[in-house]
Every structure is written in structure tokens, then in C-alpha cells.
Structure 1
Amino acid sequence: MRSFLALTVLIGLASAAVVPKSSYGNGYGKLNVQLGPRPFYLVDNMDEGPLKKKLQSCSEGPFKPSEFVFAHRGAPLQFPEHTKESYTAARREGAGVIECDVAFTKDKKLVCRHAQCDLHTTTNILNRTDLAAKCTTPFTPAANGEPATAKCCTSDITMEEFKSLCGKMDGFNPNATTVEEYMDGTPYFRTDLYATCGTVMTHDEYIGLVNSWSLKFTPELKTPEVDMPFDGYTQEQYAQDMINAYKKAGIKPSRVWPQSFLPDDIFYWIKNEPAFGKQAVYLDERVDTEEGYINATASLPELAKKGVKIVAPAFFALTKLDASGKIIPSEYAIAAKKAKLDIVTWSFERSGWLNHGGDYYYQYVADAVNNDGDMYTVLDVLAKQVGIKAMFSDWPATVTYYASCFNL
């Protein structure tokens, strides 16, 4: 008997939902949602049970774009993050909302980069001798038991210089003795197959691209890694400049979910740009420690009183195991619901194989996770019991499959 995987891979490649024509020119009159083989592999890998049967029943689609699916940096499981190619892949995979992490350059222009100082791991800047010399910390090879180091920031170069770079898969080799070895550090569960020269994007270019697809935006104001004010550029102006870009482009605030890890950024938008501030997403990293988790949970009612509408911790903080080993909502998740806060969470497909219990993102449910298909078990609890508004994903197709199956 032919396996479910063999059948559904073929069906999935053919199944599609027509979405509005894109101005991102490819000469075709329609652009279809295409999921590829991964979601079907994960469903096939699940333990037997009602959820697996339900997901199997959806194998023929149709699959459609969903605002439940936030593309985290595009589709960086296989494409260089925050590049045109990565965003295009995310759009093909049904993401209804696409992210640009916003950093600023030396000339105070906004660009899409996960961190202000990650150019040495996400681009080819170290191979560019004209630009590598401008890095905050030049490349130093590993020696005498010390790892290789480098630090290159968007604020080291101008926007024009930034645009001359190629995006690569995020990663580095700490044992490198040459620049070439240092750049060869892609994690084992990703690929360099599509990383020949990713097209890096300015914030304005990202807005134009996503707008051409009639999709929505979630820009994250990255926490600066340089002292602020930077050459007279204040944190408040930085936060305002990001919002101004959407106003200048004529984008309705309802299409934008601005994010930040800094509470003051959220409060600034609530006060000064209330139309955008009501969808501001507070990225809550306090949950990373036991004490921080307790304090974060206790603080949720006060955040709501201050006007915060959406919180976004890493998804490990939203579930736990009960006495019988069943995955259930966590104290944080229950407190957020009680405070009438919406929850967006991150980031699906950012872990390697789960057959050893997962990693950071599965730490509270590790004893209940033993294969990759358990990803969908966790997602099901997050969607149905926790009631998340959306899930960030490094490979949107995985979440699109689930969202289409349950009409999210």
C-alpha cells in the first residue's frame, strides 16, 4: 500500500489557492500557494490519533494565505533571511503577514536585518575588503583555544553600501582560521542550496514588495547595539521613522503590527501613534529565566492597563505538562487570556530534529516530544487551547497547512 507521504507530497504540490496577482513580475496572471513536501512529511510522522486523521483529511487543500501565519524573517529555513528571495518564498507558502526586522545604517536609513550587528553572519561583508575594513570588530581567526570573532553592524556602513551586499544563511564557524571557513557555518537542519547571493532589502523596499502582494506587515524595531543617541539619532526618532514609512506609503495602520522587545517603544507608539499602537506587539523575553517568567506572568494585567493589546513570548512559555504528561496552557497563557491580551508567538521551524525532545522552543514539554510530527501537536494546543492570534514561522508552509485545515 502506498504511503500517505508519497500520495500527499504529489497532491500538495498540485493543490493551490489562487491569490491576487502580484506586481512582483514573473509574467504569470496568478500566484498560487504552494506548500512543498515538508508539511506532509510532518503529518506522516505524527503519532496516530484524531489530530493526525484530521490533518490527513486536509491533504488535498485548498491551501490559502492566512493572517494566522507570520513569516519570521521570510522563510529562513531554506532562504537567506530578510532577502527578497526569502520574502517571496514566504508569500508562496501562504504567509498573510511578513516580517522585516528594522535596523538603521550609518546614514540613519532603515533596512531589514535581524540584528543591528549581524552582517558578519548573515551577509558576505567579510569577503568585501572595502567594507570589511569598516566593521566594528574585524575578523580575527580562531587561535590558542579562543574562537574566531567578528562584528559588523548596519551602523558601520551606509545604505548604499548595505545594498551592495549579498545575503547568506545565518551562521558562522567559531573554529575558523580564514574568512571563508568562518562564513561556512549554516546549521545542520538548514541548507545553502538557495543562498548564492540573497537580495538584501531596505525597509522601504520591503513595504513596496509586501504591499504589491496585498499582504500585511509586521516590522520589528531592533534594539540598538550602539549607544543612543547615535550621532544625534534618538530612540524616539528611530521608532517614529519606522511608523512614518508606512504613513508615507499610504499603508493603513490596520495592516501593520509593529513590534519591539523594548517596552518604551510600545508605549511610545501607544501615546504618539495610537492607530498603529493598538496593534503594537510587545516581544516578551522576560520569560527566559524562571524568575523572569514569574514576574512577566504577574505583570500582564498592568501591561494591559497601560494600553498594551498584544504580547509575544517565545512559544515554549505558553505551554507546560500536567501531572499526566499532557500538554496544556501555561500560567502565562492563562494570565494573558484573563487580562484580555492577544498573543502572537515565535518561532515555529526554528529547531532542528525533535527526536531528542526539542530545544529552547520545546523546553517545557520536552518529555512529551519525541518526533518531528509532535510539532503539530504543540501547535494544536497553542491554537485551540491557548488561543494564539498568530504564529511566526521560519517555514510558513508548515503553519499554512494547519491554518488552512482549521480555517484560521
Structure 2
Amino acid sequence: MTMLDNSVATLNQLKKTPFKTVKTVSIAIALGATCTLSMAADDIRNTTLTQTSNQTIKPSLKQLPKNLPATPQAYTYGVRPFYLVNDMDESPLKEELLACKAQLPSKTNFSIAHRGAPLQLPEHTYDSYVASAQMGAGILECDVAFTNDGELVCRHAQDDLHTTTNILATPLAKQCTVPPIIDANGVLTNADSIECRTSDISANQFKTLTGKMDAANKKATSIDEYMNATAPWRTDLYSQNGKVLTLKEHIALARQLGMKHTPELKAPAVTMPFNGYRLDDYRQQLIETYKAAGVPANDVFAQSFNIEDLDYWIKNEPAYGANAVYLIDDSNETAENKTFDKDDATTWKHSLADIKARGINIIAPALWLLVTTDDNGKMIPSAYAKQAKANDLKIITWSIERSGPLANGGDWYYSGLGEAINNDGDMMNYIDVLAQDVGVQGIFSDWPATVSYYANCKGLK
């Protein structure tokens, strides 16, 4: 969920890339247990838009099933939260979290699934979504992109099929905006420029793809080498199925999992209008899809990095606009000719007061925008966080568990935190400052069990 949709090619090339208690069932079912959910493609038609003979896309949403009961879940933490707590430096927080080790896990809206559970399972796939629910996440994200026949699908970017799916190993590769080029000797010659978009293919073609861990080797000389580039601290152990979903299927699954919804409208990679499909059509279609599915506005937290998307929803769909989330990082909120500084308001494109005045109620800055350090290297709220709170803005943030080992201080998500981050256990300290001092109402995570454990221990619902 970033504005810049770069693929992960190496360890240091990550993409910078809200909230009801349910009855605890059991932790006996392991994370990889078979899910008995019945939302099959047969239950939901894939076609939501039709294309006319002059190639103009016209929205024609079909009513979706509204009474799909939630399937009881068996929640589990797995081993990772315990590893992180054990790795913490000695502190009262560590003692408190250790004292919760016998607690039964439960669902919490404080824990938001960032694309599912992509630390270990391919993002925006069925298995990844189910895993996030089993780890107690109460809200599920779908990054929304569109196909060439106007279907909304879940992909982190309109132009990431080459890094997040197996499209290059299928005949659909030739339809890519920039297809792979193989020379007479069988050598891949354009690994650094391949680009495959959801708008290059139809919804039916999209459904034939298999999701994979987001990675690409931009120096590869073969398709296999290009695709097999998963970071060593991730795994391909759970990449065998990779079922991709349309937005309608995602909504149905989230409902069966008993989760709320946070779709993100991704910036189009094509020039709009696209085959007569306007940006406002795209904005409206996202909301109409939830309406057609009978999802209450209070259960939908539509997101965007484009503040004009929020302006549209607030004006045209006020019930949904009231919960719309403005995503923020240095790429979209830096003042002209400035370098973003979370403690210097003169470097911010919009003041927090201006954002609130537009009717925006919820913001979602990147983690590091909200936390800084004092002279003793202790993590404290940043000026940005303080001003957001002063302007009565609700805050959620992204994304925990998107980085590799933290022994060397972490990556972009830990910018400016210096010596405050020097082991994996410091992630729990980070979460604690965000929750207790900054006052965020939810945290996106690539491995929701980590946030769920903390939230359950602290009684955050």
C-alpha cells in the first residue's frame, strides 16, 4: 500500500512499499489447516462490467449475495510473537507481554491485515487472507486495480503482475505492456523493464494466474531466474496455490471470515479515461461494489494516497466518505522543494488542520512519520503525530512486519529511529509507542499475529 509500486528484488529493495470482540474458539488448529469456507467462484459471477462495441467500459454492477454467514474461526498466534517478545531487552513491557503468553488469541480490529499475511504467504491470495483471519486480524485489505474489461481485482498495483504472479510463465506474458524479450540464444534481455498490468488482460484471464511472493531479479537472464527472487527471510513454502481474487470475491471472503473491509484505490498506471472509463467511474465503482454486496458503510474504510479520491467520496458518498482513510508518506505529503521532516511542519504539503478541514477524519501515515527519538534514543511521538491528534484526526498506520531482521536498525519503515531499533524485539516497543503514546487505532501488519498478540494482551478491541 504505497504510492511507489516497486518490486522486491533484493533484501534492501522492499516496497515502501479500522475495529468487536468475538468469542475465542481454540488455538488447536494450526495456521496451515484447511479452511472450510465455501466462497467459490461459482457463487459469484466474475463479470461486473461490460464492454461495448466501441470499447467503452460501462459499469453494470450485479447484486451480490448479502447473507453469507461468518464461518467460526480458530485463532492462533503461531510462534513468531513469542520469539519477538523473548528477543526484547529486559523491560516492564517485556514482563507484561510475557505474562500474557497463556492468553487465548481472539480477533481484534486493532490488527489490520496488510494484503493478507505476505510476510510468508503470497499477498492478495486466498491462503494469505485466510491466514490473516486465523491470526486475529479484524480488518482485511484489498488493494484495488482494474482489468481491461473493467473488473476490480485485488493487486497491490495495476502494474505489478510481473512480480506478484506467474504471468511471465504463461502465454499471457505476450499481452504485457512490456513483455519479456528472449533473444536467439534463449537469453532474457530486458529484465529491468518488463511490465505487466491488470489492464493488459481480462478478468477471466486474471483468474487463471497464480499469485507468488512479490519479488523479481532485475538482472536475470531467464524467466525462471527473474521470478525466483524471494528474499531469504521470506519463504516460498506457502506459494503453491496462490489463488487470486476479484474485489467481489474478496468481499465475500472477508464477510465469511467475519472481517471488516479496507479497500485501497490504486493509482491507475494507464492514462484515464481508459476505453471511456473515467477516474470518477473508478472511484464510484469501488463504493458501488460494496453497496451491491450489502456491506454497511461503517464496515468499509476506503483508502487512497490521492487526496482527491477522498474529496470525491466525501462529496458523493458521504456515508462511506466519513470513514475514508488518507494514506500518507513522504512521497505524497512533502512540500514543494522540501525534504519531508516529521518534526518540521514547514516541510509538509498540507497541514493537519487543512486535511481535517476537507472533511477527512482518518489518516494513515507510514510508521516512521509518527515516531521520533529523544536525546536519549527513546522513541516518542513525532510533531506530525502530535498535530494529528491536536486536530482530532483518528490515526492508523502501516506496516509492521514488512522488513527483514532489525539487528542493523531496520529499513525505510524505521527511518530516523537510529539506535532505538537494534533487534527484532524492538518491534514490540515500536508497536507500544504507536498504541500508547501516539494513540493509533489500528496497525497494518504483514504478519497480523504480532499485532494481535500485543492488542489482546493490552485489551485493545
Same fold, TM-score > 0.5, yes or no: yes
Work out the CA distance in 2 between the residues paired with 1:272 and 1:236: 10
Preserved CA contact (<8 Å) 1:15 1:60: no
- 2:247 paired with 1:206: no
- Counting only pairs closer than 5 Å after superposition, residues 311-330 of structure 1 correspond to structure 2 as 311-330=363-382
Work out the CA distance in 1 between the residues paired with 2:329 and 2:369: 10
Aligned residue number for residue 170 of structure 1: 214
What is the number of residues matched between the two proteins?
Answer: 389
Amino acid at match of 1:264: E
Write the deviation string for residues 168-194 of structure 1: whole angstroms up to 9, x where unpaired: 000011221011110011112210000
For the structure 1 residues 132 and 147, does the alpha-carbon distance in structure 2 shift closer, same or farther, using more than 3 Å as the test? closer
The CA RMSD over aligned residues, in Å, is: 2.2
Higher helix share: 1
Report SS of the residue matched to 1:151: coil
The match for 1:139 among 170, 173, 180 is 180
The match for 1:366 among 405, 418, 421 is 418
Aligned residue number for residue 276 of structure 2: 232
Report SS of the residue matched to 1:167: coil
Preserved CA contact (<8 Å) 1:186 1:192: yes
The match for 2:114 among 72, 77, 81 is 72
The match for 1:192 among 218, 230, 236 is 236
Runs of 5+ in structure 2 lacking a partner? 1-25, 30-34, 40-70
Shift of 1:31: 2.2
Preserved CA contact (<8 Å) 1:148 1:182: no
Preserved CA contact (<8 Å) 1:345 1:391: yes
Aligned residue number for residue 164 of structure 2: 122
Report SS of the residue matched to 2:274: coil
Shift of 1:215: 1.4
Shift of 1:339: 0.7
Work out the CA distance in 1 between the residues paired with 2:436 and 2:400: 16
Runs of 5+ in structure 1 lacking a partner? 1-12, 17-21
Work out the CA distance in 2 between the residues paired with 1:311 and 1:404: 24
- Counting only pairs closer than 5 Å after superposition, residues 75-90 of structure 1 correspond to structure 2 as 75-90=117-132
Aligned residue number for residue 8 of structure 1: none
The match for 1:157 among 181, 190, 201 is 201
The match for 1:59 among 59, 82, 101 is 101
Shift of 1:367: 1.6
For the structure 1 residues 144 and 206, does the alpha-carbon distance in structure 2 shift closer, same or farther, using more than 3 Å as the test? closer
Aligned residue number for residue 454 of structure 2: 402
Aligned residue number for residue 43 of structure 2: none
Preserved CA contact (<8 Å) 1:112 1:201: yes
Work out the CA distance in 2 between the residues paired with 1:271 and 1:24: 37
Amino acid at match of 1:132: A
The match for 1:377 among 416, 429, 434 is 429
Shift of 1:63: 1.3
- 2:389 paired with 1:337: yes
Preserved CA contact (<8 Å) 2:72 2:257: no
Report SS of the residue matched to 1:51: helix
Aligned residue number for residue 92 of structure 1: 134
Shift of 1:32: 1.2
Shift of 1:197: 2.8
Write the deviation string for residues 106-147 of structure 1: whole angstroms up to 9, x where unpaired: 001100000000000000000002x10100001247999985
Aligned residue number for residue 252 of structure 1: 296
Preserved CA contact (<8 Å) 2:130 2:257: no
Shift of 1:212: 1.4
Aligned residue number for residue 155 of structure 2: 113
Work out the CA distance in 1 between the residues paired with 2:83 and 2:132: 19
- 2:304 paired with 1:291: no
The match for 1:47 among 89, 108, 126 is 89
Preserved CA contact (<8 Å) 2:182 2:189: no
Report SS of the residue matched to 1:286: coil
Aligned residue number for residue 24 of structure 1: 37
Aligned residue number for residue 268 of structure 1: 312
Identity across aligned pairs (percent)?
49
Preserved CA contact (<8 Å) 1:344 1:388: yes
Report SS of the residue matched to 2:363: strand
For the structure 1 residues 232 and 145, does the alpha-carbon distance in structure 2 shift closer, same or farther, using more than 3 Å as the test? closer
Shift of 1:231: 1.0
Work out the CA distance in 2 between the residues paired with 1:144 and 1:186: 19
Shift of 1:313: 1.2
